[in-house]
Amino acid sequence: MTLSDLTLDRDGLIAALECTDPAFEEALRQEAYRVKVAHVGKNVYLRGLIEISNRCRKDCLYCGIRRGNAACPRYELSDEEVLAAATYAARQRFGSVVIQGGERSDTAFIQKITRLVKALKQIGTENGLPLGITLSLGEQSRDVYAEWFDAGAHRYLLRIESSNPDLYRKIHPQDGLHSYERRLEALYDLKAIGYQAGTGVMIGMPFQTAADLADDLLFFRRFGGPMIGMGPYHPNAETPLTRSGASYPSDEARFSLGLKMIALLRLLMPDINIAAATSLEVFSPRGRVLGLLSGANVIMPNVTPEAQLVKYNLYDRKTLLRDRQLNDVLHSDQIRIGFGQWGDAVL
């Protein structure tokens, strides 16, 4: 297949995802980079990632911090630790922070997030640059989402994980708490409240087909969100999905699929924010840079205190891009770092 054969309908997307010709893949990535620069420029926007806690009430079959993983030492950052990490991000002139963590529904946690969002607003202002605030704390009631929005959060990341309900059911326990329909409802709640709602999927999972991934891309376009964060799946040895022995594509195939998904999404939705996910970095120290050169325009350098970072072990071999490496790693004529900018998508 060549680039001129590519059509952006379901069949064309499947053909592109199935084509492993390196010349096609390279041409696709270059075209996606060209479209990115034409529509959103060379800037990469930075979101300082603060992993607030690995306590979670859910038991997703693929995730290393799932409730059922007794081998996972648990932690929760104090308010002071979160604010110190955010101050650091603000002083480094990252335009935004992301508070991410396991899903919790207890009142103390909900109130803590409300309190922190208000304090984060203050920190940004004190450091001369109001911080954009993104939350990624799973499914919550509409009232909780509204409370956090009113406190000052304006973006929310909630991956659909797979837009295929059957695949979703295969990778989650069937216990009433892990429902595809509920997740979808939560995504639409976020949009209705006024958040910039972002979603995404894992790429290269057991049971997943090229048709599933093509449908994911079309789902993103239907949902119409201004940001997408999707990344390759990696096994964690302590999870039921890994233990089941279900097969999944090789490292090489997942890396190439991850980059191809970014590139195809950029062609489908030229104006949105697309994150180069941390999970790309597992394959290569240049994983995220290659994501940026394939059409992505957002990265999330981790600013979580290092002592806790190692416990946020979603998958094995987690690597990190610390901010101090940013200039070195991202130095390229093809990338410009958007220091001090929120970098919301303009749609």
Interface ranges with ligand SF4 (CB under 6 A): 56, 58, 60, 63, 65-66, 102-103, 138
Per CB under 6 A, 248 contacts ligand SAM:
no
Choose the one of ligand SF4, ligand SAM, none that binds residue 66, judging by a C-beta under 5 to 8 angstroms depending on kind. ligand SF4
Question: Binding ligand SAM by CB under 6 A: which of 31, 76, 81, 103?
Answer: 103
Per CB under 6 A, 294 contacts ligand SAM:
no
| Amino acid occupying residue 119 | A
What is the C-alpha to C-alpha distance for residues 266 and 206, in angstroms, rounded to an integer? 25
Find where tokens 């659909």 sit.
160
Smallest distance from ligand SF4 to CB 322, Å: 22
Question: In this complex, which beta carbon is closest to ligand SAM, that of residue 88 or of residue 156?
Answer: 156
Smallest distance from ligand SAM to CB 56, Å: 6
∠36-254-23 over CA atoms, to 5°? Answer: 60
Cα dist. 29→65, 93, 312 in Å?
A: 33, 29, 31
What is the C-alpha to C-alpha distance for residues 257 and 2, in angstroms, rounded to an integer? 17
What is the C-alpha to C-alpha distance for residues 233 and 283, in angstroms, rounded to an integer? 11
- Contact between residue 224 and residue 268 where contact means Cβ atoms under 8 Å apart: no
Question: In this complex, which beta carbon is closest to ligand SAM, that of residue 24 or of residue 134?
Answer: 134
What is the C-alpha to C-alpha distance for residues 41 and 241, in angstroms, rounded to an integer? 39
Question: Binding ligand SAM by CB under 6 A: which of 95, 138, 204, 225?
Answer: 138
Smallest distance from ligand SAM to CB 100, Å: 5
Find where tokens 């990632």 sit.
49
Per CB under 6 A, 47 contacts ligand SAM:
no
Alpha helices in the chain (DSSP H): 10-18, 22-40, 79-91, 107-126, 142-151, 165-170, 180-193, 210-223, 240-243, 251-268, 287-293, 306-309, 326-330
Question: In this complex, which beta carbon is closest to ligand SF4, that of residue 35 or of residue 144?
Answer: 144
Smallest distance from ligand SF4 to CB 103, Å: 4
Question: Binding ligand SAM by CB under 6 A: which of 62, 75, 148, 156?
Answer: 62
Smallest distance from ligand SF4 to CB 265, Å: 21
Question: In this complex, which beta carbon is closest to ligand SF4, that of residue 28 or of residue 160?
Answer: 160
47: phi then psi, degrees, rounded to nearest 5? -125, 110
What is the C-alpha to C-alpha distance for residues 60 and 44, in angstroms, rounded to an integer? 31
Question: Binding ligand SAM by CB under 6 A: which of 29, 112, 234, 260?
Answer: 234
Per CB under 6 A, 206 contacts ligand SAM:
no
- Considering only residues 262 through 281, tell me which ones interact with ligand SAM, judged by CB under 6 A: 279
Q: Which residues bind ligand SAM (CB under 6 A)?
A: 56, 62-63, 100, 102-103, 136, 138, 158-159, 161, 202, 233-234, 236, 279, 314-315
